[in-house]
A = this chain, B = another copy of it.
Amino acid sequence: MNSVKVGLLGMGVVGSGTWTVLERNAKEIARRAGSTIEITKIAALNVEHAKSLVNNKAIITKDAYEIIKDPDIDIVVELIGGDGVALDLVMAAIDNGKHVVTANKALLAKHGNKVFAKASEHGVMVAFEAAVAGGIPIVKSIREGLTANRIEFAAGIINGTTNFILSEMRSTGLPFKEVLKQAQELGYAEADPTFDIEGVDAAHKLTLLASLAFGIPIQFEKAYIEGISNLSSDDIIHAEKLGYRIKLLAITKRREDGIELRVHPSLIPSGCLLSNVEGAMNAVLVKGDAVGPTLYYGQGAGGEPTASAVVADLVDITRLHTADPENRVPHLAFQPESLCNIPILPIEMVSTSYYLRMRVKDRPGVLADISKILSDLNISIGSMIQQCSDKDSEADIIFITHDSIEKNINISIKKIESLEFMCSKITRIRIEDIS
């Protein structure tokens, strides 16, 4: 049986997961691939730790370039993360004619166009199933499973940390900061959680999904990003009463005039499958014009789930590396020369419905004044709730609008907030009636 030789860069959680899965399932994987897939060299920052995990200590090195220059290695697996040294190593590996497998969404979201162009130039593959939604084969499903379709939108819960926090906030009623602390203690959130809780990680992944869905270059810098750190438990409770759950949703949608690309907290109907994705799980809903709605669900992070995607890519490359480069599946689903520069729409042009919560003085005329501002801006109200607040003389009002242009919503918020009877800023959360 043929053997494919792999060099592993990085022996953290996903690196050691990949090593473990390839070892444990070697026979099962070879039965599928028709070749054995063997890690013949591992570069690790912490050499001692790596040696503790591997029987054959001789394959561990501190020098990543030893792997990249090794003529016996067919595929380099980059599991270092970030876009510093990892980018240099990936580019050097491609220059040396290696195929690359990576789980690095930050790198591809920021430098993917350059990386894929270089890969095409050298006739090698850069596979990245593990970069989006961990073990869920979402890259393959969009890129190969839905090729018949004009994709209409993809919307997903693609950051496990934030979904865990939101699920906990809902079930315990605790505030964000407290739940974040718990998540850090349980290992669901990092010591510096900024990338996760501010939506940056989800936006990295969304940017890749948008390219796969619509055949556009990767344009991370144009994504609208809003995290969950300002969400209050109150809004989660109000949402529940109104028949919604709040999720950090990553959405990319094709419209006639361009493409929406946005990550932010969203109210989604409690009955739909996406709203029932709880804890650290991920799910992506993809709608195509022929297939209709499809949903993909699974673990979006963790050593072995992510390794599952890494190894699937290794098997794919094992099968395809003897094929004509031009007959391989294109990196971004569409042939490189067929990528289109459809404009990414600024958030002000997004059209959706909105949840607006505010506290006002409880007296006549308040509702009339607010309603007039909304109607003047062509914002129509789907439903409204007014309830007593904890102060006698004040009331809380929640509006659910029909679909409106965000620009108009922003203007209305400014105008309403300047009214003399307002006792709070307005909390604005977008609503997605997806299914």
Query: A289 at interface (Cβ–Cβ under 8 A)?
Result: yes
Determine the chain B residues whose CB is within 8 A of the CB of A299 once the complex forms.
291-294
A346 touches B (CB below 8 Å): no
Give A291 to B326 CA distance when docked, in angstroms: 31
In the bound complex, CA of A259 to CA of B273 (Å) = 30
- Smallest distance from the beta carbon of A286 to chain B beta carbons, Å? 9
A298 touching B291 by the CB < 8 A rule? Answer: yes
Q: How far is the CA of A32 from the CA of B277 in the complex (A)?
A: 31
Instruction: In the complex, identify which listed stretch (A332-340, A368-376, A396-404) lies at the interface while the others stay far away.
Output: A332-340
For A290, give its contact among B140, B148, B305 (CB under 8 Å): B305
Is A34 in contact with chain B by the CB < 8 A criterion?
yes
The answer to whether A32 touches B323, judged by C-beta atoms less than 8 angstroms apart, is: no
Does A311 belong to the interface (CB within 8 Å)?
yes
> B291 to A305, Cβ gap below 8 A?
yes
Query: Within 8 Å CB of A25, what residues of B?
Result: 148-150, 289-290
Q: Is A36 an interface position by the 8 A CB rule?
A: no
Contact B296 A294 (CB under 8 A): yes
- Supposing A146-B137, A298-B295, A299-B291 touch, asked if A338 and B31 sit within 8 A by C-beta, the answer is yes
Contacts of A30 in B (CB 8 A): 338
Interchain CB contact (< 8 A) of A32 among B304, B320, B326, B330: B330
**Which residue from B17, B135, B311, B326 sits with its C-beta under 8 Å from A294?**
B135
A335 to B291, CA, bound (A): 30
Of A34, A215, A291, A292, most buried by chain B (CB within 10 Å of CB) is: A291
Assess whether A411 is interfacial by the CB under 8 Å rule: no
Interface residues on A, range: 35 or more
**Which A residues, 306 to 355, have Cβ-Cβ distances below 8 Å to chain B?**
307-312, 315-316, 319-320, 322-324, 326-330, 333-335, 338
Contact pick for A319, options B277, B295, B328, CB 8 Å: B328
Cα–Cα distance between A136 and B305 once the two chains are bound (Å): 21
Contact A316 B29 (CB under 8 A): no
A386 CB within 8 Å of chain B: no
CA distance in complex: A22, B147 (Å): 11
Contact across chains for B32 and A312 when beta carbons are under 8 A apart: no
Closest to A277 in B: B273
Residues in B neighbouring A297, C-beta threshold 8 A: 273, 293-297
Cross-chain contact A312 with B148 (CB below 8 angstroms): yes
Contact of A334 among B17, B31, B289 (CB under 8 A): B31
CA distance in complex: A204, B137 (Å): 24
The answer to whether B137 touches A141, judged by C-beta atoms less than 8 angstroms apart, is yes
State how many angstroms separate the Cβ of A335 from the closest Cβ of chain B.
Answer: 5
Q: State whether A326 touches B140 (Cβ < 8 A).
A: no
Q: Is the C-beta of A145 less than 8 angstroms from some C-beta in chain B?
A: yes
B293 touches A29 (CB 8 A): no
Q: Say whether A91 faces chain B, with CB atoms less than 8 Å apart.
A: no
Q: Shortest beta-carbon distance, A102 to chain B, in Å?
A: 16
Report the Cα distance A326→B34, complex, angstroms: 8
- Tell me if A288 counts as interface (CB < 8 A to partner B): yes
Question: Can you name 20 A-B residue pairings with CB atoms under 8 Å?
Answer: A24-B150, A25-B148, A25-B290, A32-B333, A33-B147, A34-B335, A137-B146, A140-B144, A145-B312, A273-B276, A283-B295, A288-B308, A291-B299, A292-B299, A292-B304, A293-B298, A295-B297, A296-B297, A319-B327, A322-B324
The 3 closest A-B pairs by CB, nearest first: A137-B145, A148-B311, A135-B291
Question: Could you list 20 further interchain pairs (A-B, Cβ under 8 angstroms) beyond the known A290-B305, A291-B304?
Answer: A24-B150, A25-B290, A28-B150, A32-B335, A34-B335, A135-B291, A140-B140, A141-B296, A144-B144, A144-B312, A144-B315, A145-B312, A146-B308, A148-B307, A149-B308, A276-B276, A288-B308, A292-B304, A295-B297, A320-B327
